[in-house]
Amino acid sequence: MTSTVLLLHGPNLNLLGEREPEIYGSATLEDHVATARTAAEGAGLTLEHLQSNHEGDLVEAIHGARGRCAAIIINPGALTHYAWSLHDALAAYDGIVVELHLSNPNAREPWRHTSVISPVADGSIVGFGGHGYALAVEAVRWKLS
């Protein structure tokens, strides 16, 4: 069994730390990746990361994880609510899938309450800010044990 975890970030998450800090906090994307990497190393896992503002890049990364990665942790950003291509790619992936959001979409605007990712995820971690990254890695570790 592989010990590689693929961490994916969708559109605009490269702007973390600058974009709406009252919602998403002041930590940068690099800060969150570092948190996840530290948690992964502590759990004996290897972390790979990709952020893209292009849906197709994320689909390709999910396809590339098939048979290679034990898990995918995905923060799809706004793609959460309408990217059926991500849904379908994750449905065809045979590893663990953890959906991750810094904020709690269910406590925000009504259009954010629908996730097309949740039905194909093993679980979702929402609303815990940057701590959610360590929680997501812990969820993967637990599911692998």
Residue tagged active-site, from 24, 32, 87, 133? 24
Alpha helix stretches (DSSP H) within the chain: 21-24, 29-42, 55-65, 84-91, 131-144
Residues 114, 109, 60: CA angle, nearest 5 degrees: 45
Q: Are 108 and 131 in contact (CB under 8 A)?
A: no
Residue 133 known to be catalytic: no
99: three-class secondary structure by DSSP: strand
Q: Which of 9, 49, 87, 101 is catalytic?
A: 101
Residues labelled as active-site residues: 24, 101
